[in-house]
Amino acid sequence: MTGEDSHGSGDAIPETVYDRIFRLDGRRAVVIGAGSGIGREAALALAAHGAEVVCVDQDEAAAGRVAKGAGPGSEAYRLDLFDVEAIRRSAHDLGPVDVLVHTPAMNVRKRLLDQTPEDVRRVISLNLEAVYETVRAFGAQMQQRGRGSFIGIASIRAFTVEPGQGIYAATKAAMIQLLRTAAVELGPSGVRVNAIAPGVVETPLTEQIRRNAEWYDAYARKGALGRWAQASEIAGAVVYLAGDAASFVTGSCLMVDGGWTAVDGRYEPPP
């Protein structure tokens, strides 16, 4: 049955269905990594659309500042994602959650032969194991309640890499497959699980690149729009996946990359 058929011939769809599909009033959202970058903008955007937001970060002071900016009903919570027990405890402490946004990641920019075992362990621990534990902790309570939206921030590096980003890319690709599996396993309970893959975004994670003008410009030229994204430009995708506008979207990876993956490897011949 198509969406058109489901309403019957000539039936009008009530305008109220569309009036509020991006509203999140009455929903509780937890944003992990809310102290800065994409997490900060996601928290503010969700709050602007009516959600009660818990701003989670290892830097509780930074999370507190964002919570204050998000307005009444918002709060801060400290969480160390390298502490598995703390992740499990946070799901209990924070109570029922309708939306969970997981943003933190790290990248050790070294070629594979130059990386140390400790480099690899830390990247895998934060970028993959912490996501796994967060899915288990918060996905379990969403499953019990029969609803919820889990959103993980992946990367274009899950699909296209460059020298020096091998382990980071591997964890982001694995993260997407982990979230797709969670979508399949939790879907029958009414829980949706999706990923967002940003392109190059001006955040603390990319500060090293942005200090190098040649590197910065080269990355800007890679995308169809010819520029970097601001963290605020990822927030719209988070709001979309959080609420009713994406009620039939799960197991997906939404590309928000300024056309990077559409034109990657392009060659413009001389006139």
Return the active site residues: 168
* Three-class SS state of 265: coil
DSSP string, 171-203: HHHHHHHHHHHHHHHHGGGTEEEEEEEE-SEES
- Residues with Cβ within 8 Å of residue 39, at least 6 apart in sequence: 31, 32, 33, 57, 101, 103, 104
Q: What values do phi and psi take at 91, rounded to 5?
A: -65, -35
Q: Please tell me the distance from the alpha carbon of residue 233 to that of residue 101, in angstroms, as a whole number.
A: 15
- Joined tokens for residue 199: 């392109």
- The DSSP result for 7-64, as a single string, is T-TTPPPPHHHHHTTT--TT-EEEEETTTSHHHHHHHHHHHHTT-EEEEEESSHHHHH
Whole-number Å distance between alpha carbons of 192 and 56: 21
- 4-23 burial: b if 16+ Cβ within 10 Å, else e: eeeeeeeeeeeeeeeeeebe
Q: What CA–CA distance (Å, rounded) separates 32 from 212?
A: 29
Scanning the structure block, which residue is given the tokens 């963290």? 231
